[in-house]
């Protein structure tokens, strides 16, 4: 199930549907997350107003992204951070590898970061001879299993407790048990040792505050606090869309993000990091590097329709709510970003050439839009991308022809009537789509259309 490609979404999905463990794990996790989110949202009487405010803040930040980024960089650097601009994934990885190599880093601890998953940073660091340890429990599990995350906030959501127990026995040599407390404490003990030995800590960023140059990261396990405070050097990787204008904006986002993600009112830890330590006697890293990543984001920004994709705060709520994700899970999408928002972002990041199946991997039910804390109109974006795919002739030729014919028929009452009669006569002779009839009976065409029946109704 590993490292699948978006090009084979159909086959990936088929394999996922046949995996009973996966489907059991997905059903439990997505329904639990979904229920918790609903309860948490209902606990705030002004939920809808918060969503609108969050979106307005994101829209403002994105509309003037250049200005807010410059302000963010100025303020972060004036407090001792060093900011690096990366045009794409390769540039970001080069910068980070160079920073690590120059500091003779051998062991790197990492906290959960979708942005570094996007750039495949671990591969780059390992190729440069460094040992990289993921310290988020879910990420640690999938690192041990040599897999990729299958959910934005719960990377090992596809795994059952039993599978994790087997993995820990095989990889960490612990006696077989499926006791969660024992599994967690084994991981904890192994990771604590790595934290103490690490030369560099690498994290992601949830929000970058322009007016103070602060980076904000939320979490539950405490591993991010350790990653960003124990090693001498902290490198934070941040997509350029993560900047928000002011500290006060967090009032909205810190209410929405945990509630939408895990259904919590507050995450256990919230780290606010502004520059480096001021005095030698202070605790914390000596160096803070912030790598600002574009990697296709300014392209999304340029288009008025797709711009809203950048408002995403990576809560994962749309994944849990999506009927497709609920059935096939994250790996099938063959992308770091799965689910509805993944089907929107992936083609924009990687190009539609190899990802043209993803925007169609949705029934357009709109459950994603309903739960999105920043009101991203995901179905609209999927439709926009479908339009791009057909405009660039990336869809099937037969389908294009079929819709040309369809339009002809729908434009002419005569053709419409004729084809309806033809369909009625031929429906029992010509084979009907097996794609439909493999699991469902097909309703036959009526012997008389409503157009015909209308005459008797007048």
Partner 1 sequence: MKVSLFVTCLVDQLWTSIGVSSVEVLRRVGCEVEFDQRQTCCAQPAYNTGYLDEARQVARRFISIFEESHAEAIVSPSGSCTAMVHHYPQLFADDPEWLSRSKSIAAKTHELSSFLVRVLKVEDVGASWSGRLTWHDACHGLRDLNLKSEPRTLIRNVRGAEFVELEHADACCGFGGTFSVKYPEISLAILDQKIEAIERAGVQAVVSGDASCLMQIGGRLSRKGSKVRVMHLAELLAADSRG
* Among candidate residues 137, 302, 305, the one with its CA nearest the CA of residue 223: 137
CB environment 79-98: b (16+ within 10 A), e (fewer): bebbbbebeebebbbebbbe
Query: Which of the ranges 68-76, 237-245, 252-260, 390-398 carries the binding residues for partner 1, by CB under 8 A?
Result: 390-398
457 touching partner 1, by CB under 8 A: yes
In the complex with partner 1, the residue whose CB is nearer, 17 or 44, is 17
C-beta neighbour count of 388 within 10 angstroms: 18
Q: Least Å distance between CB 59 and partner 1?
A: 18
Query: Which of the ranges 139-147, 151-159, 205-213, 435-443 carries the binding residues for partner 1, by CB under 8 A?
Result: 435-443
Give the span between the Cα atoms of 114 and 443, in whole angstroms.
45
56 touching partner 1, by CB under 8 A: no
Residues 4-23 touching partner 1, rule: CB under 8 A, are 10, 13-14, 17
Q: What is the widest separation between alpha-carbon atoms in the chain?
A: 92
Query: Which of the ranges 61-69, 118-126, 341-349, 406-414 carries the binding residues for partner 1, by CB under 8 A?
Result: 406-414
303 touching partner 1, by CB under 8 A: no
442 touching partner 1, by CB under 8 A: yes
Residue choice 162, 400, 425, 426 for contact with partner 1 (CB under 8 A) = 400
Angle, CA 142 vertex, CA 138 and CA 144 arms, to 5°: 115
The torsion angles phi and psi of 3, rounded to 5 degrees, stand at: 45, 50
66 touching partner 1, by CB under 8 A: no
Residue 133 forms beta bridges with which residues? 109
In the complex with partner 1, the residue whose CB is nearer, 3 or 455, is 455
Q: Where are the beta strands (DSSP E) in 193-341?
A: 200-203, 207-209, 214-219, 233-239, 243-244, 269-274, 287-293
Total of residues contacting partner 1 (CB under 8 A): 62
Residue choice 49, 123, 353, 399 for contact with partner 1 (CB under 8 A) = 399
In the complex with partner 1, the residue whose CB is nearer, 281 or 438, is 438
Cα dist from 81 to 108, 126, 214, 351, whole Å = 19, 25, 10, 33
Residue 293 forms beta bridges with which residues? 86, 239
Residue choice 398, 411, 429, 430 for contact with partner 1 (CB under 8 A) = 411
450 touching partner 1, by CB under 8 A: yes
Cα dist from 184 to 147, 158, 179, 198, 336, whole Å = 19, 17, 9, 21, 25
454 touching partner 1, by CB under 8 A: yes
Contact 142, 149 (CB under 8 A): yes
* Among candidate residues 198, 243, 205, the one with its CA nearest the CA of residue 70: 243
47 touching partner 1, by CB under 8 A: no
In the complex with partner 1, the residue whose CB is nearer, 236 or 361, is 361
In the complex with partner 1, the residue whose CB is nearer, 13 or 76, is 13
Give the span between the Cα atoms of 294 and 240, in whole angstroms.
6
In the complex with partner 1, the residue whose CB is nearer, 126 or 452, is 452
Give the span between the Cα atoms of 227 and 222, in whole angstroms.
9
In the complex with partner 1, the residue whose CB is nearer, 129 or 387, is 387
409 touching partner 1, by CB under 8 A: yes
Contact 249, 217 (CB under 8 A): no
420 touching partner 1, by CB under 8 A: yes
Site string for partner 1, 360-389 (x = CB under 8 A): xxxxxxxx-xx---------x--x-xxxxx
Query: Which of the ranges 50-58, 78-86, 143-151, 433-441 carries the binding residues for partner 1, by CB under 8 A?
Result: 433-441
Q: How far is CA 274 from the centre of its chain?
A: 26
Residue choice 251, 403, 418, 426 for contact with partner 1 (CB under 8 A) = 403
306 touching partner 1, by CB under 8 A: no
DSSP H or E run through 92: helix 89-102
Residue choice 170, 248, 410, 422 for contact with partner 1 (CB under 8 A) = 410
Alpha helices in 128-179 (DSSP H): 137-144, 161-172
Secondary structure of residue 64 in the 3-state scheme: coil
Residue choice 391, 422, 425, 426 for contact with partner 1 (CB under 8 A) = 391
Secondary structure of residue 149 in the 3-state scheme: coil
1 touching partner 1, by CB under 8 A: no
Give the span between the Cα atoms of 78 and 261, in whole angstroms.
33
Residue choice 74, 127, 426, 436 for contact with partner 1 (CB under 8 A) = 436
448 touching partner 1, by CB under 8 A: yes
Residue choice 101, 268, 423, 425 for contact with partner 1 (CB under 8 A) = 423
Give the span between the Cα atoms of 178 and 190, in whole angstroms.
18
Which residues would be at the binding site for partner 1 (CB under 8 A)?
10, 13-14, 17, 323-324, 326-328, 359-367, 369-370, 380, 383, 385-391, 395, 399-400, 403-404, 406-407, 409-411, 413, 416, 420, 423, 433, 435-436, 438-446, 448-451, 453-454, 457
């Amino acid at each position: 199930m590993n490292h699948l490609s978006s090009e084979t979404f159909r086959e990936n999905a088929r394999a996922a549907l046949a995996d009973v463990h996966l489907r059991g794990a997905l059903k439990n996790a997505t329904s639990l997350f979904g229920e918790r989110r609903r309860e948490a949202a209902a606990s705030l009487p002004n939920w809808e107003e918060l969503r609108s405010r969050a979106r307005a803040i994101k829209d403002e930040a994105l509309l003037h992204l250049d200005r807010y980024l410059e302000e963010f960089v100025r303020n972060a650097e004036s407090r001792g951070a060093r900011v690096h601009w990366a045009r794409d994934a390769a540039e970001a990885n080069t910068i980070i590898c160079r920073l690590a190599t120059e500091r003779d880093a051998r062991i790197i601890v990492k906290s959960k970061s979708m942005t570094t998953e996007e750039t495949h940073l671990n591969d780059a660091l390992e190729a440069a001879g460094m040992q990289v340890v993921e310290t988020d429990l879910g990420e640690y599990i999938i690192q041990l299993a040599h897999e990729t995350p299958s959910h934005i906030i719960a990377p090992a959501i596809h795994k059952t407790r039993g599978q994790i127990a087997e993995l820990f026995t095989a990889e960490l040599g612990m006696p077989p048990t499926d006791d969660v407390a024992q599994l967690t404490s084994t991981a904890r003990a192994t990771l604590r040792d790595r934290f103490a030995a690490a030369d560099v800590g690498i994290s992601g960023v949830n929000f970058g505050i322009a007016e103070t140059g602060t980076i904000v990261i939320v979490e539950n396990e405490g591993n991010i606090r350790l990653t960003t405070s124990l090693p001498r050097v902290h490198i934070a990787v941040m997509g350029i869309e993560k900047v928000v204008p002011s500290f006060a904006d967090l009032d909205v986002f810190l209410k929405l993000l945990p509630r939408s993600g895990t259904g919590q009112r507050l995450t256990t830890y919230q780290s606010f990091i502004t520059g480096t330590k001021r005095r030698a006697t202070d605790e914390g890293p000596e160096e803070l590097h912030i790598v600002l990543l574009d990697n296709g984001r300014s392209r999304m920004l340029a288009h008025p329709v797709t711009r809203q994709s950048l408002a995403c705060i990576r809560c994962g709520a749309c994944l849990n709510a999506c009927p497709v994700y609920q059935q096939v899970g994250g790996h099938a999408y063959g992308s770091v970003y799965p689910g509805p928002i993944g089907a929107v972002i992936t083609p924009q990041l990687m190009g539609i050439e190899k990802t043209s199946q993803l925007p169609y991997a949705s029934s357009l039910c709109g459950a994603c839009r309903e739960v999105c804390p920043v009101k991203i109109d995901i179905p609209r974006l999927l439709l926009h991308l479908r339009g791009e795919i057909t405009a660039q002739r990336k869809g099937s030729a037969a389908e294009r022809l079929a819709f040309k014919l369809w339009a002809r028929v729908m434009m002419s009452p005569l053709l419409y009537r004729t084809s309806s009669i033809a369909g009625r006569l031929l429906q029992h002779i010509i084979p009907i789509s097996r794609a439909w009839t493999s699991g469902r009976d097909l309703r036959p065409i009526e012997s008389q259309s409503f157009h015909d029946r209308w005459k008797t109704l007048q």
